Structures are given as structure tokens and as C-alpha cells.
Amino acid sequence: MAAPAAAETSCRLEFSVQMTCESCVEAVREALQGLPGVRVLDVRLDSQTVLVEASVAAERVQERLEARGRRAVLRGAGGPPGGGGPVAAAVAALQGPGPVRGLLRFVQVSPQRCLVEGTVDGLQPGPHGLHVHEFGDLSDACDSCGDHFNPDGECHGGPQDEHRHVGDLGNIWADATGRANFRMEDSRLKVWDIIGRSVVVDAGEDDLGRGSHPLSRVTGNSGPRLACGVVARAAGLFENPKRLCTCDGLTLWDERDRERPPGQPAPHL
């Protein structure tokens, strides 16, 4: 599960939001002012952008923006002001042969802190192991992703353990509808080390290396791999000027509607 301190860690999020007048700007500010854990930094009508500092998942902010009938797209993410060190962001879209689908985002808010947040749908209710794997190879679905990312040659453990794979992210918990929403902070994971690798969600609970099964100290004995996705670099703050998809001429809003069917996590362009 997420570490208690994770909810207090903030990052900056840049959204494109449909706005046509100053009344829209005020409506956006009012919508976000009532959302705990969110501070509005800037709302610009000319570029239709909203910049916030948030200690909640990006989906929560986007849902609040869209609750007033305005479409929104997450454009970029970065660390808080004065966080120090390089800032990087990455995204992984998970899918498998079954119904499981998800979207994870990684933001390196400081050299010692990486925020991991996401939404995974189609799971059985309960805990599911989540890991970064060594290869971004999906040629044989999730079976070709390799082992857990483990550059230090450690045994498997939990995310708070001294001895663990760097890719050990513990468990995410699906509710009765099969959806897992999560936000965690990790002190070992570095975004620049995992771009091009993969993220995998498993069918069962990761025992964090504390079980009696022979695989406990190897994989956490969390069962078959349900869904996976390659970790790709995502746009940082102010790095994404996209307005039109050059491949097919769709606008930002057309593409957003195409990429996000009802009930699916929001895309990161």
C-alpha cells in the first residue's frame, strides 16, 4: 500500500482546459478552490492552460475540471518549486490479453522522491502486486518483460524495506468495482532509470518477501502477470505545445475524446 507520507508530497500539473472567456477562467478557479490538496497557481485564457500544485492524483483534478462541462487534458508534470535536482516525468499505459487496463504516471519531484500514481481497471477486488520490470519488451505480451528491475542484485521485498528490488512497488488495492486508484512515493525509483522498461500488474497479492513460498524472495509470489506497459518519457511542465495531431489532423480535444472512452483513465499527451 502507499506510504503515509505520500499524500503530503505535491507536484505541479499542467492541464489544457477548454475556456473561451474570463467567466470560464473564474469558473475553473472556483471549481478547483474547493478541492483539498490542490492549489491553483495560474489560469491562462490565451493558451487555455491551468497550472496547479497538487498532493492528490491527477485524475482527481481532471475530474473536478470536467465536472463543470469543460474538457481537460493533462499536458505535463513536474516537481514543486525549489524541489532541487532534475525533474523528469514518465507514463505507462497498461493492457493485457484480458480486461485489465490502466495508466501510471511517474514524476521525479526530487533526487530522493519519485511519485507514482495511477488507475487500473478490470481487476478482481483486493490486492495486486505492482512492479517495474527490466525490459520494455512486449513481443510475448507480459512474459517478455523479464524479471523485476533489480540493478543492485537484491532479493525481493516491500517498498519500505532496505533490501528490495528497485522495481518493487508493493501492492495496489482494487475496490468492489475492480478499480485501483493509487498514489505512492518511492525513495529508490528514479524516472531516468526506468524509461524504456516496463510496469506489470499481477493477479495476486505480493507477499513482500515475507512468505514461505519458494518464490517469496524472488517475485513475492504474486501470481500470473495480468497487464503490462512500456515506461515512456512524458512531457514536463511547459514542454508540450501540442494543439493538433500531425498524423491525422485531429485537434487536441478530438484526440482526447478518442483516447478516453467512458470509465477509462485520462490520457497524458
Q: What digits encode the pLDDT tens for the residues 88-98?
A: 889 999 999 99
Residue 58: the pLDDT is: 86
Strands 198-202 and 225-230: antiparallel
Residue 239: the pLDDT is: 64
The domain 88-233 having CATH identifier 1.10.150.170: the answer here is no
Query: What span, in angstroms and rounded, lies between the C-alpha atoms of 103 and 108?
Result: 17
Residue 74: the pLDDT is: 85
Are the C-beta atoms of 163 and 154 separated by less than 8 Å? Answer: yes
Task: Please state the φ and ψ torsions of residue 64, each to the nearest 5 degrees.
Answer: -65, -40
Mean pLDDT by 10 residues, the chain (269 residues): 49 89 92 90 92 88 87 81 63 94 90 89 97 97 97 96 96 97 92 95 97 95 97 74 47 47 45
- Considering all CA atoms of the chain, what is the largest pairwise distance in Å, rounded to the nearest integer? 62
Residue 109: the pLDDT is: 81
Residue 60: the pLDDT is: 87
Q: What digits encode the pLDDT tens for the residues 187-211?
A: 999 999 999 999 999 999 999 999 9
Residue 9: the pLDDT is: 77
Instruction: Write down the residue that cell numbers 528490488 correspond to.
Output: 165
Q: Which of 117, 121, 188, 179 is nearest to 150 (CA)?
A: 188
Residue 241: the pLDDT is: 60
Residue 5: the pLDDT is: 37
Task: Please state the φ and ψ torsions of residue 263, each to the nearest 5 degrees.
Answer: 85, -5
- CATH class of the domain comprising 9-82+239-259: alpha beta
Delimit the domains of the chain by residue range. 9-82+239-259, 88-233
